[in-house]
Structure 1
Amino acid sequence: MTNASDAAGDEKTKTANEKAMAGSETDTTSPASPTVRTEHEDDLDDAFKYLHDHSNAESTSIDLAALRRKIDWRIVPIMFVCYVLQFVDKVVINYAAVMGINKDLALTKNNFTNVGSAFFIAYLIAEVPTGESTSSHGANKVLTHILQDISSRNFHLESGWALTCLSGESVAQRPQEQPTITLFSPHYYTKSEQAPRFAIWYSGLGFGQIIGGLISFAFQHVTNKHFKSWQAMFVFVGIATSLVGMATFFILPDSPMKAKWLSEPEKAALLKYVSINQTGIQNKNFKMRQALEVLADPQLWLLTICTICISVSSGVITTYSATLIQSFGFTPKRTALLNMPSGLVSIAAALIVGFGVRKSESRWAWLVLCCIPGMIGGGLMSFMPASNRAGLLAGIYLVNAITGTLTVIYQWTMANVSGHTKRSVAAALIAGSFSIGNIIGPQTFQARDAPRYYPANIAVMSTQAGGAVVAIVLFGYYVWANNQKDKRQAVEEGLSSSAGNEKILWENLTDKENPNFRYVY
């Protein structure tokens, strides 16, 4: 899928990867390997145990480029489809707003705003057990369960209260999807390779916007008095999501070690290849110490603040973009179609940033760059005259460039957090931060501010600027943290003392505990 980009690679990762693979060849050739310490064996990564148990697998002859292509076509498409459907399910409430749901369910004043927030309040609450359930039960089982539960809410709604409750009930399952998908990529790709793959599956958000517009347009032609058009749309999306959920169970493995479509030599070659990430593959031991380290880690608090700032705009677009477009004087059918270009902007932003990170590694700069269109969009929505509908539409479309920033944040988190428990908790924390921003976003829309909703539009502009500032601070922190690690390591032991020791790559150490771990920025 991304062969040209992958072939380039960065020289630093390539060199380090060769060292890791060389270490693997020497450390796993015998069951009596000195790198396995019995007293810590239970806490070693399952990948290390697999390599130790399959030390006779001939992995040196495996073509890594061909293996990567094989993994791409097996993993990335289903992750993309999962993200498309979870976003379509989330955005149908946006389209339902112009299909008569407010009238049919007697939603008045700020009730619709509260429904949008209830969606993400449940999302936030359910983040607490997310990381542990993903780690304990297997990612493919969790993802299948989520997609099945998402589909269950789309069948029968008769009141605004029912809509609010069922939105919360189904979303209590959905928050596990984002961190679950996020945790998949590091199992199969190095840090620099992860960014374009994140971009591909996250561009499903844009495709979801386009498909959502088409679905809304199609179902607006349903005229049954007893089964409203928006109800039919909900049922259709629910059935599609359920079918994909069942397919996910059979397509996605819990880990590379359980991938039936990979041979034993291919599994061994892959595990050695991604060992350079120093973030591990699978370890089901929950370590409270690592969970508490999340609370004291400055990078995660900065990432949290950045995510909240940027996600305020996401909350605005997800819940109210159709309402805003309709307020410009368009019919419901034209509103559904005019919302579709937002998806094109989302797709372009995600792919440009994802492949840009692969080439340049400047994650912080790409994040700041994507905040600029969002700020411009917020400005157009706030200050463009009501008569200039083209300018107002351009503002809504530009705000969708935030998709690129979220692509960077999710990949940045997975690249810079190590330790299985810490990674799971961190993934849930960032997803929870996303929900906080999406709770705030709809609340900026108050009935008294209709039809232009100036406070909401200004909030979009200011929060995008805040996200850009935090990204720059985060860049400075990573530079400082790496310098501190370099100084400490030079004093204590030097890099050479552990560069060839494969065990340290799989020892379930956090990014702070591992002396060889370096942050990417």
Structure 2
Amino acid sequence: MAPSDTIIDAQSVQSAHASEKQAGSPPKEKGDIALGLANELDAGYELSPALERRVLRKIDFILLPLISCTAVLSFLDKVSNNFANNYGLSVALGMRGDQFSWSASIFYFAFLVWQPAVSYMTQHFPLGKVVAVNCVGWGLMVLGQGFVKNYAGFLVLRFFQGLFEACVLPTFQMMCSIWWTREEQSLRTAFWFNSLSGVLSGLFAYAIGQWHVQPGFKLYQYLYITYGSFTCGWGIMLFFALPDSPVTAWFLNHEERLAAVARVSRNQTGMINREFKREQAIEALLDFKTWYYVFFAFVSNIVNGGLNAFSTVLIKGFGFSEFFHSSSENVLCITAAESRVACTTFLLSSLTDEFHPGALDTTLLSMPHGFISTAVNIVIGLFISYTLNNRLFYMSAIILIPIAGTAIQFALFGGARGPRLLGYYLTGAYNSPYVMLLALIASNTAGTTKKVVVSGMVWVSYCVGNIVGPFFFRDEDKPLYRMGVGMMLGSFALQAFLSLGFRGYLMWLNKQKDREADAVRDQEEDNAAHAFADLTDKQNKSFRYTY
């Protein structure tokens, strides 16, 4: 499509809206949902810094907590089987061999097959309502897992849980692109993507592990019943509290909605256009960037799938469980660092009467891993917020932390517990590159149809990686899981290489756009409506990629 054609298309949409207003009828839903407000912006609107700060403050203090807490619940419910297994799930349901791996992977099979429906929903339905309804749905599935009595029934519930949860992260990725500027997206993505969930999952599981088990119940059932009940209630609240877009946000007045639209117009990515455009879908499929995103998502989420399912089992393999319940002679044989960790955990775990050997210990020991993950995500998000075109450099640099951690584990198989546990904790930074990738996609993909197609493909790849990951942790490799740790090391090294290579590619694309802009400088309109004309990043000559 030529630049002049896209300008005519944007102007025709504006004219249609104007004629409908003159006729006294409500405007039909044509073009971007923010196009009506964009027309007001072009009528001499000026955004004051004070108003922009006020709007950003409202968005950050109202919308961001709603998104972040929902993402945390999604993660807690998704990995609940990890901690439930630690409390006797496999034994209670009679799982054998790779059956637990399948119970982890079937969630992502559902996530995968439902992505076309998710892409349709994010483009055609109000985003806030989509999240709320699905939140109640997956909460009911988690609640049901607390009462199911056989492995087959558990698999069915996990599958449908995956269907309902499939919409959450893609929807939040879309919301990130329509609420925040490109400079702000990385830090906000770091907050909502698994915000503190790695810490809270261990903390909540430990607290539940101390409950007194009533006759007829197992400890793992309490985990599912508690999580599922809370998620259902949260979903009902979201239906009324989570806004669909800045255009209709309940906490913004008309002036603030104009300011919110003016802010994101600088992104040149638009908000949401309800019309599916075939040419944008084709462009997404033929764009090299799309396939880079897909491959990177797969490589990084192999690790995610393995650790989400086997982190507590991996910690048990370090030998701490045996140590906690060993004799005093054995206590004298370990290092001072190990003694401090072990004695503290043993004292805490001994407070409960319902104690499963090693279960509460490994639950507590998993928490620093989540803390490191959250801290690294926020720190790297801050760096990227203030240095927009260094994000891929930081992505490649931050992956050196989990590389070091995995190398320590790989080199010390069967060795001292303390250093191996430290190596595991360092791998907590493993998901930072993927979090930054989501922000990169939101910043560098324009055109609603193209955004939903690219997002759908990336989340399909996310599912495939999470499906494959648990099978690297083979039952016959217990307790060291050499193949799983080796897979992690290879994945981290490949991510570092991919990040640096893609940075060079995006820089080259920007130089190409600069050359083209010099040739057709007078043909582009530079106004707010142009930013919401639903042009793709390739069609929009004013668009520049962040790297």
* TM-score (ref. length: structure 1): 0.88
Q: 1:157 aligns with which of 148, 153, 158?
A: 148
CA contact (8 A) 1:182 1:410 kept: yes
Take 1:178 and 1:262, find their aligned partners in 2: how far apart are those partners?
24
Give the deviation of 1:420 after TM superposition: 0.5
Aligned to 1:213: 202
Give the deviation of 1:276 after TM superposition: 1.1
Describe the superposition over 1:236-281 as per-residue Cα deviations: whole angstroms up to 9, x where unpaired.
0011111111121222211111112211111112212210111111
Describe the superposition over 1:147-166 as per-residue Cα deviations: whole angstroms up to 9, x where unpaired.
11111112222122222221
Aligned to 2:277: 287
What amino acid does structure 2 have at the position aligned with 1:93?
N
2:24 counterpart of 1:72: no
Residues 464-475 of structure 1: matches in 2 within 5 Å?
464-475=492-503
Q: 2:412 aligns with which of 368, 372, 384?
A: 384
Take 1:31 and 1:226, find their aligned partners in 2: how far apart are those partners?
67
CA contact (8 A) 2:124 2:274 kept: yes
Aligned to 2:135: 147
CA contact (8 A) 1:367 1:404 kept: yes
Aligned to 1:240: 230
Take 1:394 and 1:31, find their aligned partners in 2: how far apart are those partners?
63
Q: Which is worse superposed, 223-232 or 345-354?
A: 223-232
Q: 1:355 aligns with which of 382, 389, 396?
A: 382
Give % identity.
Answer: 26
Take 2:500 and 2:403, find their aligned partners in 1: how far apart are those partners?
16
Give the deviation of 1:490 after TM superposition: 2.2
CA contact (8 A) 1:131 1:428 kept: yes
Q: 2:34 aligns with which of 41, 47, 60?
A: 47
Aligned to 1:504: 530
Q: 2:188 aligns with which of 185, 191, 197?
A: 197
Describe the superposition over 1:285-325 as per-residue Cα deviations: whole angstroms up to 9, x where unpaired.
11122122221110111111111111111112111000111
Residues 49-448 of structure 1: matches in 2 within 5 Å?
49-52=36-39, 60=47, 63-154=51-142, 155=144, 156-204=147-195, 207-221=196-210, 222-329=212-319, 330=321, 331-361=358-388, 362-448=390-476
CA contact (8 A) 1:294 1:425 kept: yes
Q: After the TM superposition, which parts of structure 1 deviate over 4 Å for at least 4 consecutive aligned residues?
A: 53-62
CA contact (8 A) 1:321 1:396 kept: no
Aligned to 1:458: 486
Take 2:194 and 2:112, find their aligned partners in 1: how far apart are those partners?
23
Take 2:103 and 2:253, find their aligned partners in 1: how far apart are those partners?
49
Give the deviation of 1:130 after TM superposition: 0.9
What amino acid does structure 1 have at the position aligned with 2:533?
E
CA contact (8 A) 1:286 1:421 kept: yes
Aligned to 2:324: none
Describe the superposition over 1:461-482 as per-residue Cα deviations: whole angstroms up to 9, x where unpaired.
0011111111122112111211
Describe the superposition over 1:320-364 as per-residue Cα deviations: whole angstroms up to 9, x where unpaired.
000111222321111110001111111111101111101112111
SS of 2:141's partner is coil
What amino acid does structure 1 have at the position aligned with 2:230?
A
Take 1:261 and 1:85, find their aligned partners in 2: how far apart are those partners?
24
Give the deviation of 1:57 after TM superposition: 10
- Residues 358 and 128 of structure 1: CA distance in aligned 2, closer, same or farther (over 3 Å): same
Give the deviation of 1:203 after TM superposition: 4.6
SS of 1:45's partner is coil
Take 1:381 and 1:255, find their aligned partners in 2: how far apart are those partners?
46
Describe the superposition over 1:74-118 as per-residue Cα deviations: whole angstroms up to 9, x where unpaired.
111111101110010011111112111111111111111121111
CA contact (8 A) 2:88 2:220 kept: yes
- Residues 112 and 510 of structure 1: CA distance in aligned 2, closer, same or farther (over 3 Å): same
What amino acid does structure 2 have at the position aligned with 1:503?
A
Give the deviation of 1:489 after TM superposition: 2.6
What amino acid does structure 1 have at the position aligned with 2:226?
F
What amino acid does structure 2 have at the position aligned with 1:351?
I
CA contact (8 A) 2:273 2:448 kept: yes
CA contact (8 A) 2:413 2:480 kept: no
SS of 1:173's partner is helix
Take 1:392 and 1:149, find their aligned partners in 2: how far apart are those partners?
40
CA contact (8 A) 1:57 1:265 kept: no
Take 1:322 and 1:92, find their aligned partners in 2: how far apart are those partners?
12
Give the deviation of 1:43 after TM superposition: 5.0
Describe the superposition over 1:407-448 as per-residue Cα deviations: whole angstroms up to 9, x where unpaired.
210000000000001111222222222211111110101112
What amino acid does structure 2 have at the position aligned with 1:175?
A
Aligned to 1:23: none
Take 2:254 and 2:104, find their aligned partners in 1: how far apart are those partners?
48
Mind listing any 5+ residue stretches in structure 1 that lack a counterpart? 1-26, 33-40
CA contact (8 A) 1:59 1:266 kept: no
Aligned to 2:24: none
Give the deviation of 1:60 after TM superposition: 4.3
- Residues 507 and 55 of structure 1: CA distance in aligned 2, closer, same or farther (over 3 Å): closer
Take 2:42 and 2:493, find their aligned partners in 1: how far apart are those partners?
52
Take 2:199 and 2:260, find their aligned partners in 1: how far apart are those partners?
36
Give the deviation of 1:46 after TM superposition: 1.9
Take 1:379 and 1:209, find their aligned partners in 2: how far apart are those partners?
22
Aligned to 1:3: none
What amino acid does structure 2 have at the position aligned with 1:457?
V
Aligned to 2:348: none
- Residues 91 and 460 of structure 1: CA distance in aligned 2, closer, same or farther (over 3 Å): same
What amino acid does structure 1 have at the position aligned with 2:151?
G
CA contact (8 A) 2:29 2:274 kept: no
SS of 2:115's partner is coil
Aligned to 1:14: none
Q: Which is worse superposed, 353-362 or 410-419?
A: 353-362
Describe the superposition over 1:113-170 as per-residue Cα deviations: whole angstroms up to 9, x where unpaired.
1211112111111112211111111110110122111111122221222222211111
What amino acid does structure 2 have at the position aligned with 1:516?
S
